[in-house]
């Protein structure tokens, strides 16, 4: 998509453009036979994604660190849509123990799993190690989602096989994947405070999201599993994700106001990749 299309919202080959909303890109979609797990669903584009999936009939599992906020999100969704099916489960992606506990709890519910939206994340936060001793952005944005995906994958494979419905895994990445450390992911210096740069560290975690999607896509395709895996950049949106650099990002927003999206527009790419019939069989792509 060129800069002109981004500014004007002119539709691309899909029929949608940067001005399209999550509701618009899912208009006419019946998701009543689908179960979806959405990480980071209590706010921002995660909340809008949860709302629109529920609006289209899907059974939505909001996986969130702050369950109080997630329950408020569920309440707001159901006030507007009383027939919505929404559940809340505890998940702290920065803790591998919490990820395992979530997967155990979800799998014990004997629910199918058609779609996994790896949406949650942290951005530009100061240097900090997770409880597992890993730099916080890499731990939360990549490692937590990597483990979560692996722990839910057997359920997704079984669901796709028993129902004949294509499963979909969607990793939310960022254009920031192009702005990481000069040599890419610093596997040997992930936790090195001396070389840490919070923007480059964010970029490497987002690069990892894309590489994860591409490699998992290749492996699933090779084994013949009926599951697609894609990643995406949702656009530039002012959400709580910006809280560690709000003043800087607000100044940038003023200077580049024409390319910023609102939250319904920001959630559109996630909902499109997760639900659009146009993308049946499309895998390993960055949207």
pLDDT at 8: 52
Q: Is the pLDDT of residue 244 over 50?
A: no
Residues contacting 68, CB < 8 A, separation 6+: none
Residue 118 in domain: yes
Residue 196 in domain: yes
Q: H-helix or E-strand containing 86?
A: strand 85-90
Q: pLDDT of 21-34, one tens digit each?
A: 999 999 999 999 99
Average pLDDT of the segment spanning 85-111: 98
Q: What is the largest CA-CA distance in the chain?
A: 52
Strand-strand pairing, 35-39 and 59-64: parallel
The mean pLDDT of the chain is: 91
Separation between Cα atoms, residue 80 and residue 33, nearest integer Å: 21
Count of structural domains within the chain: 1
Average pLDDT of the segment spanning 102-106: 98
Q: pLDDT of 43-82, one tens digit each?
A: 999 999 999 999 999 999 999 999 999 999 999 999 999 9
CATH number at residue 155: 3.40.50.720
Residues contacting 257, CB < 8 A, separation 6+: none
Q: For the chain, percent helix, then strand, then coil, each to nearest 5?
A: 50, 15, 35
Residue 256 in domain: yes
Residue 284 in domain: no
Residue 274 in domain: yes
Catalytic site positions? 202
pLDDT over 70 percentage in the chain: 89
* Alpha-carbon separation of residue 267 from 75, 116, 151, 175, 213 (angstroms): 20, 15, 25, 15, 19
The DSSP 8-state label assigned to residue 278 in this structure reads: G
Separation between Cα atoms, residue 94 and residue 128, nearest integer Å: 11
Token digits of residue 278: 């146009």
Q: H-helix or E-strand containing 55?
A: helix 44-55
The DSSP 8-state label assigned to residue 140 in this structure reads: I
More confident residue, 256 or 168: 168
Interaxial angle between packed helices 44-55 and 67-80, expressed in degrees from 0 to 180 and rounded to the nearest 10? 40
Strand-strand pairing, 227-232 and 85-90: unpaired
Strand-strand pairing, 227-232 and 167-172: parallel
Asked whether the CA dihedral 106, 107, 112, 116 is positive or negative, the reply is: positive
Q: End-to-end CA distance of the chain, in Å? A: 10
What's the pLDDT band for 253 if we cut at 50, 70, 90? very low
Asked if 169 contacts 116 with a C-beta cutoff of 8 angstroms, the reply is yes
Token digits of residue 167: 């499963």
Q: Is the pLDDT of residue 265 over 70?
A: yes
Half-sphere CA count of 265, side-chain side, radius 13 A = 17
Q: What is the pTM of this model?
A: 0.90
pLDDT at 2: 57
Average pLDDT of the segment spanning 174-202: 94
Residue 73 in domain: yes
Range of the domain at 174: 3-279
What's the pLDDT band for 1 if we cut at 50, 70, 90? low
The DSSP 8-state label assigned to residue 228 in this structure reads: E
pLDDT at 236: 75
Residue 285 in domain: no
Phi-psi region of 101 (alpha: psi -120 to 50; beta: other; left: phi over 0): alpha
Residue 106 in domain: yes
pLDDT at 254: 47
Residue 57 CB neighbours (<10 A):
17
């Amino acid at each position: 998509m060129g800069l002109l299309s981004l500014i004007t919202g002119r539709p691309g080959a899909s029929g949608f453009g940067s001005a399209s909303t999550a509701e618009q890109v899912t208009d006419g979609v019946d998701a009543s036979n689908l179960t979806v797990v959405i990480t980071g669903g209590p706010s921002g584009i995660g909340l809008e994604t949860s709302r629109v999936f529920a609006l289209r009939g899907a059974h939505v599992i909001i996986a969130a660190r702050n369950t109080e906020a997630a329950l408020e999100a569920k309440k707001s969704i159901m006030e507007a849509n009383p027939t919505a099916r929404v559940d809340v489960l505890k998940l702290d992606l920065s803790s591998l123990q919490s990820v395992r506990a979530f997967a155990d709890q979800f799998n014990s519910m004997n629910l199918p799993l058609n779609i996994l939206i790896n949406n949650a994340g942290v951005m530009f936060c100061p240097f900090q190690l997770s409880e597992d001793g890993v730099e916080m952005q890499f731990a939360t944005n990549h490692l937590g989602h990597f483990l979560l995906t692996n722990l839910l994958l057997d359920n997704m494979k079984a669901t796709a096989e028993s129902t004949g419905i294509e499963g979909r895994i969607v990793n939310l990445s960022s254009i920031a994947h192009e702005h990481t450390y000069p040599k890419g992911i610093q596997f040997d210096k992930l936790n090195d405070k001396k070389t840490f740069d919070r923007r480059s560290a964010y970029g490497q975690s987002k690069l990892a999201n894309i590489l994860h999607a591409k490699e998992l896509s290749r492996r699933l395709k090779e084994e013949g599993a009926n599951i697609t895996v894609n990643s995406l950049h949702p656009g530039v949106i002012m959400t709580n994700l910006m809280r560690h650099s709000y003043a800087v990002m607000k100044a940038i927003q003023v200077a580049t106001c024409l390319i910023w999206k609102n939250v319904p527009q920001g959630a559109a790419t996630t909902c499109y990749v997760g639900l659009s019939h146009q993308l049946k069989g499309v895998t390993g792509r960055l949207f």
